[in-house]
Structure 1
Amino acid sequence: MSGSLEGAVVTGAGRGLGRLIAALLAERGHRVLVTDIDAAAARATAEELGPDVLWAALDVRDEEAVAAVRDRAVAETGGLGVWVNNAGVLLTGPAWDQSPAARRLMLEVNTLGTINGTVAAIEAMRGTGGHIVNIVSLAGLTAVPGEAVYAASKHAAIGFSVSTLADLRLAGTKDIDISCVCPDGIWTPMLHDKLEDPASALSFSGRLLRPADVVAAVRKVLDRPRPVTAVPGRRGLQARLAGALPALGLRALPLMVAKGRRVQRRMLAEARRDG
């Protein structure tokens, strides 16, 4: 757990879940640096959260840019207590139907971006301690039809995070924590756009989370670090079971996808009626 309430960096914080996580950290007393690839969005979030909140445009795929943001956070806040890797990209469809650029984008943002942020944060937290929170997905724990490359990027992010935590402990570093928060489908603009997308059906097969549900999970791991936290816990157990018994999981998937498609059609009909 972080030993200080100093600086905090949140990537992908220009809107949605990242913005709410930045607000949580500001409420907890951190001097927050909001980052987003969209400079205008990052600035708007910072201005909304208060005069002490910093902002920067950041492409998490750029290792040097990530390190520069880290150095600025340390210089302007006096230290780095929390780093949240929240930036992510979701593009759906079978891998063979996606362009090489689309596949590369997801792997670079979701996986390489998490690696860049984690490594940069560790370098700043050595000797003072801190907490790295990686926003991943239930897609990192099991098979997800229609999101194969996205799932691959999230599996990699979890594998990297837990393995790096093991490396820290084996090196005798006990004051730096790494926590993965793995939510089910979240009702954010990213998912709003998937109502007509059959490849996203599995994300609609459970109870759609609100961003506040995930923020609550982040709050809990900040207070009590855990390597992997699934949100909600019941779906996490299902995902782990399907991952441990892939043949069984694959047989259950058609039923879950069909359920998700029914939810998509219902929500789309409601949206058209209300609109």
Structure 2
Amino acid sequence: MQSIFISGAAQGIGAAIARLFIQHGYKVGLYDINHAQVENLAVQLGENAKTGLLDVTDPAQWQTALQDFSAWAGQLNILVNNAGILYSGPFEHTDLAAHHRTIDINIKGVINGCYAALPYLKQADFARVINLSSASAIYGQADLATYSTSKFAVRGLTESLDIEWQKYGIRVLDVMPLFVQTAMVKDMNAQSIKKMGVNLQPEDVAQQILKLAQIKDHPWIPTHTLVGIKAKFLFNVSKLSPQFVNRLSNLFIAHKPQ
């Protein structure tokens, strides 16, 4: 039985991933800073779910969580770096501490997870890392500046490690959804969400992650998987359009009607 370890599994996309993988016969690790909430979820999921406390900004907690989970599951096959936060609104109106917290969780948390998981992934008969990036990593988004920056970093780390870890037989992939109906986007202060809308559910992202977890390794498996028609459209347009056109289109998205 293969196993999957999910950070930020208490709610939203993380919880949807956990439910789906339990249904497909995986041993599932639900780890979150909100331990009580993942405990409640695990009760619903049954004996193939294991929980633990994890603050992704703390490397020592990663070491403890992965050692604990791998001993229980037998091996670590799939790591999903899902934990993340979002602050919206004008850059200068957001507290500097909030900008730093975004970097600590969304970037350093993913780096911590990849670094701590590698020894376990190298021992597995099948191993894969799937990171949560975002369509905000296609072009920097106004009023989501630091969040967008963090997802560009996840995209870059994914590309780098997907090449580096090929020698170990480990693919490192990411998913890039547009806005997903979770608590993260509630009351978001950005014109982009008002113009683009929220058309994805957590289950839509979970389904893509399941496909990436199950597909056998081939050179043509894309490193980035866009989730949803709008994200795919924006990604393809950004590749084909001149830079000034990309800037103008994002100015339009960010513009607040008078």
TM-score when normalising by structure 2: 0.89
Residue identity (%): 24
| CA separation of 1:240 and 1:103: change in aligned 2, threshold 3 A | farther
Stretch deviating more after TM superposition (89-98 or 108-117): 89-98
1:202 maps to amino acid = S
Deviation at 1:73, TM superposition (A): 1.0
Q: Which residue of the partner structure matches residue 173 of structure 1?
A: 168
Unaligned runs of 5+ in 2: 216-220
Deviation at 1:255, TM superposition (A): 2.9
Cα separation, 2, equivalents of 1:234 and 1:92: 20
Q: Which residue of the partner structure matches residue 218 of structure 2?
A: none
TM-score when normalising by structure 1: 0.84
Q: Which residue of the partner structure matches residue 189 of structure 1?
A: 183
Q: Which residue of the partner structure matches residue 7 of structure 2?
A: 11
Q: 1:211 aligns with which of 202, 215, 225?
A: 202
* 2:75 is the counterpart of 1:84: no
| CA separation of 1:240 and 1:95: change in aligned 2, threshold 3 A | farther
Deviation at 1:238, TM superposition (A): 1.7
Deviation at 1:92, TM superposition (A): 1.0
CA contact (8 A) 2:128 2:172 kept: yes
How many residues matched?
Answer: 249
Q: Which residue of the partner structure matches residue 107 of structure 1?
A: 103
Q: 1:202 aligns with which of 192, 196, 221?
A: 192
Q: 1:132 aligns with which of 129, 132, 153?
A: 129
Q: Which residue of the partner structure matches residue 20 of structure 2?
A: 24
* 2:143 is the counterpart of 1:153: no
CA contact (8 A) 1:35 1:42 kept: yes
Unaligned runs of 5+ in 1: 263-275
Q: Which residue of the partner structure matches residue 123 of structure 1?
A: 119
* Structure 1 runs, 4 residues or longer, greater than 3 Å off: 239-246
Cα separation, 1, equivalents of 2:119 and 2:242: 38
1:32 maps to amino acid = V
Stretch deviating more after TM superposition (67-76 or 124-133): 124-133
Deviation at 1:240, TM superposition (A): 5.1
Cα separation, 2, equivalents of 1:230 and 1:164: 19
| CA separation of 1:245 and 1:72: change in aligned 2, threshold 3 A | farther
Cα separation, 2, equivalents of 1:204 and 1:117: 33
Provide the alpha-carbon RMSD of the alignment: 1.9
Map residues 29-48 of structure 1 onto 2, 5 A cutoff: 29-48=25-44
CA contact (8 A) 2:81 2:131 kept: yes
Deviation at 1:233, TM superposition (A): 4.6
